[in-house]
Amino acid sequence: MTRLLNADRATFNYPEQGATARLPLPAGYNHLRHRTRIGSGRAAFEAAAAAVTTLQAHRASGMRVRCSHGAVRPGTRVVVGIGFGPLRIDAPCRVVWTAYEPTRTGFAYGTVSGHPERGEESFLVHRDPDGTVWFEVTAFSRPARWYTRLAGPVVPFLQRCYAAHLGRTLRRLAAAA
């Protein structure tokens, strides 16, 4: 069952909380949809789902992640360190919704004040009826800071690269489990 956060919207820096749980994505943002085949079978699904919902996949991809809970749930605060060395920027988020279902597991977090972007990103693991396991990243975002506005089309390009990298990392984690 998908659980949406029912909380004070003032903590978020964008008005469309939960929009990655439904389509179409809101207008006025850059949109991202990326899908990666992870493997096949229940074991691959369960390993990938656990890696996504505990943020192990994010950490294994090289991101620095701080999280207020173990497995994510609505309201969980997450801070992702983006960049390298002295150029690392903290990107604070809050989990908007989660899905813990027999064939679909994942979550979405939304940006909060202090994040360089405005928007939301979801990370879902799906298991098809034939057993194929997929990882899908869906996002909408736009600049919230002068430096992300200045970067222009570089930010969406880097987001797509990271989504693909995260998919490859998750495939490796699921295969090792």
Q: Which of 129, 159, 154 is nearest to 141 (CA)?
A: 159
The verdict on whether omega for the bond into residue 24 sits within 30 degrees of 0, i.e. cis, is: yes
Contact 53, 68 (CB under 8 A): no
Whole-prediction pTM = 0.90
Tell me, rounded to whole angstroms, the distance of Cα 84 from its chain centroid: 20
Q: pLDDT at residue 2 above 80?
A: no
pLDDT at 24: 93
Each residue's pLDDT tens digit, 80-96: 987 777 777 889 999 99
Taking residues 2-20, what's their average pLDDT? 71
Q: pLDDT at residue 132 above 90?
A: yes
Cα–Cα distance between 114 and 142 in angstroms, integer? 14
Each residue's pLDDT tens digit, 113-125: 989 999 999 999 9
8 band by pLDDT with thresholds 50, 70 and 90 = very low
Q: pLDDT at residue 147 above 80?
A: yes
Paired tokens of 41 = 């079978």
Q: Which of 103, 139, 105 is nearest to 124 (CA)?
A: 105
148 band by pLDDT with thresholds 50, 70 and 90 = confident
Q: What is the largest CA-CA distance in the chain?
A: 47
Q: pLDDT at residue 25 above 50?
A: yes
Cα–Cα distance between 77 and 4 in angstroms, integer? 15
Lowest mean pLDDT among 50-54, 131-135, 151-155: 151-155
The verdict on whether omega for the bond into residue 15 sits within 30 degrees of 0, i.e. cis, is: no
pLDDT at 50: 97
Paired tokens of 129 = 């009826």
Lowest mean pLDDT among 44-53, 138-147, 164-173: 138-147
Each residue's pLDDT tens digit, 37-46: 999 999 999 9
